[in-house]
Amino acid sequence: MYCPSLRSLSTAALLLLQSGLPVLADIPITPDSLDSLTTAGMDIANPMMEFYEQNQTEGIPGKLTGTWYVAGSMMMTWIQFWQVSGKDQYNDVVKNDLMLQAGENYDYFSQNYSQWLGNDDQMFWGLAAITASETGFPEVSGKPSWTSLARAVFNMQVGRWDHRACNGGLTWQIWPYQAGYTMKNAISNGGLFELSARLARFTQNETYAEWADKIWDWSASTPLLNNKTYYIADSTSNENNCKDAGNHQWTYNYGTYLAGAAFMYDYTNKDEKWLTRVNGLLDATIARFFPTKFGGTVMSEVACEPVMTCDRNQLGFKGYLSMWMAMTAILVPSTADKITPLLKGNSEHLSKQCSGLTDNLCGVRWYQDSWDGVQGLEVQMAALGGITGNMMVLKNEQMKTIKTNPGADENHIETSDGDRPGELKPIQTGDRAGAWILTVLLILGIPGTVGWLIKTQ
Ligand SMILES: *[C@@H]1O[C@H](CO)[C@@H](O)[C@H](O)[C@H]1NC(C)=O
Ligand SMILES: *[C@@H]1O[C@H](CO)[C@@H](O)[C@H](O)[C@H]1NC(C)=O
Ligand SMILES: *[C@@H]1O[C@H](CO)[C@@H](O)[C@H](O)[C@H]1NC(C)=O
Ligand SMILES: *[C@@H]1O[C@H](CO)[C@@H](O)[C@H](O)[C@H]1NC(C)=O
């Protein structure tokens, strides 16, 4: 287990060593270099994990004050970062807490919290579990596999498919006594759509694909998802048989439908139908959340950032969309040219925004050149997701280079950080895990790039 006070000390010492200065300025980030992004990612992850420790409730690992799902989405983010960076110092705590929070029945519905949870809360833990499966995150011996936890979430949620109105859909809240029990929202339905699509691809079990299709079609029959303009409304209600709409625009709503469609494109072996949907959603996402007034290459939570009213949930959304855009670029290669510059743009901006106080605190307005004063777990997590999304597409580019140069060996990989082919690249600590995997892939002659970054069973 780990000890917060010692870890703060070592973080501080590390920061001192790295910068030579007690007060940090910008994090230097080269968005074309995995090494640079790895260092930046750790600079951002360290304070994130300190917030995580400080905000634990009643000593229960993974239960934070005033929220339950945020820890799950933080673990999802760490696992994705671990995969592309090889940095594993928080793996033990994430592994332990991700399993503990699965609860008594291993379904992320512990009786400690179940009486006040919404479908979207449980869904985020399910996405963390499928992320663990896809990345090959170490399993916990003697416990259910990550995949079986993700499946348990799916099984419970499809059991809650609501026929009282609107011909289906998932409600936001689970219990009649909660406000939101008659509301159907994009994150609950888009989240289950994404989880279904990822389970379909990972397990190759058609049941999940059928549900992904069904949730998409149902969503498109309501204002939640417009299948012509790809406008995603935030919510609609049973009372009006899902004809009304709450129209706030949120990055993560678009992200769930976008990523789910990308997984279905891959699962269906490049069905044109899903390509059309991916392209439509991607264009809508870019038009809304990469405003030209900020240069067009940095993501903004436009509904709350300009007026600084983002609540703790909203502070975290941009990180998810960053990683889900990266998955889209990997699974639907024709979108990579559009997505990659945006993810690099995010990193470039984070370099300046993550300059708060002495501990690389990140604010919420990625587009702003100096720290905006917001601090906490959620903004660190979002920034780590932003950096990770960039790393995912870079790693994918590297794998492609290998794929198209079958004769290359690990020391002669043309990387995207400007190394010339044939030049020996010194292997950095951060590269080792990656290099090792590359070698194994080369020896085994395993084709394909997606296989390593987003595994199937
Ligand atoms: C912990 O959570 C509370 C309640 O949301 C918040 O006010 C506080 O700032 C958090 N503390 C840290 C260190 O993140
Ligand atoms: C539920 O609460 C008990 C008692 O505080 C605790 O021991 C247990 O770890 C909690 N379980 C979860 C999943 O939070
Ligand atoms: C496919 O998944 C569904 C839903 O979890 C499950 O009921 C079914 O048994 C699975 N089928 C196979 C062949 O594993
Ligand atoms: C859009 O959704 C509606 C309602 O589900 C459906 O009837 C229509 O066929 C869909 N159009 C496309 C292009 O998928």
pLDDT at residue 421, as a whole number: 30
Mean pLDDT confidence for 428-451: 45
Using the structure block, give the residue that is written with the tokens 């936001």: 172
User: Residue 432 — pLDDT band, cuts 50, 70, 90?
Assistant: very low
On whether residue 187 sits in a domain, the answer given is: no
Mean pLDDT, range 214-228, rounded to an integer: 98
The mean pLDDT value for 175-196 works out to 95
Q: Is the pLDDT of residue 435 over 50?
A: no
More confident residue, 358 or 268: 268
Whether residue 91 has its Cβ less than 6 Å from ligand 4 = no
- If one counts the domains in the chain, the total is 1
137 in any annotated domain:
yes
Q: Of all atoms in ligand 4, which is nearest to the CA of residue 276? A: 13
Q: What is the pLDDT of residue 59?
A: 87
> Rounded mean pLDDT of 350-364?
92
pTM: 0.87
Whether 227 lines ligand 4, by a CB cut-off of 6 Å, is yes
The CB of 60 under 6 Å from ligand 2? The reply is yes
> Which of 221, 225, 227 maximizes ligand 4 atoms within 8 Å of its Cβ, making it the mutation to test the pocket?
227
CA distances from 233 to 41, 186, 323 (A): 32, 7, 21
How far is 68 from 371, CA to CA, in rounded Å? 27
Query: What span, in angstroms and rounded, lies between the C-alpha atoms of 360 and 353?
Result: 9
Q: In 3D, which of 87, 120, 242, 266 has the Cα closest to residue 193?
A: 120
Q: Which domain holds residue 83?
A: 43-159+426-457
pLDDT for position 28: 87
> Is residue 446 assigned to a domain?
yes
In angstroms, rounded to a whole number, what is the distance separating the alpha carbons of residues 128 and 71?
10
Pocket test for ligand 3, best of 153, 207, 214 (most atoms within 8 A of CB): 207
142 part of a folded domain: yes
Q: Is the CB of 442 under 6 A from ligand 4?
A: no
- Is 86 a member of any domain? yes
The whole-number average pLDDT for the span 39-53 is 97
Nearest-angstrom CA–CA distance, 9 and 281? 45
Q: What is residue 441's predicted lDDT score, i.e. its pLDDT?
A: 46
- Concatenating the DSSP letter of every residue in 354-411 gives S-BTTTTB--S-TTSSS--S--SHHHHHHHHHHHHHHHHHHHHHHHHHHHH-TT--GG
CA of 366 to the centre of ligand 1 (A): 21
Residue closest via CA to ligand 2's atom 7 equals: 60
Q: Among 158-172, 223-237, 384-398, 415-429, whose mean pLDDT is lowest? A: 415-429
Q: Which pLDDT belongs to residue 451?
A: 66
pLDDT digit string (tens) for 77-102? 999 999 999 999 999 999 999 999 99
Task: Answer yes or no: is 402 within a domain.
Answer: no
Residue 253 lies in a domain: no
Phi-psi region of 331 (alpha: psi -120 to 50; beta: other; left: phi over 0): alpha
Residue 445 predicted with pLDDT over 50: no
pLDDT of 325 strictly over 90: yes
What pLDDT digit, counting tens, does each position of 9-38 carry?
333 333 433 443 334 468 889 999 999 999
Residue 61 lies in a domain: yes
Stretch among 42-46, 71-75, 266-270, 427-431 having the lowest mean pLDDT: 427-431
Residue of the nearest CA to atom 8 in ligand 3?
Answer: 207
State yes or no: pLDDT of 178 exceeds 70.
yes
Q: Can you give the pLDDT at residue 457?
A: 77
Q: What is the pLDDT of residue 25?
A: 67
Q: Taking 50 as the threshold, does the pLDDT of residue 415 lie above it?
A: no
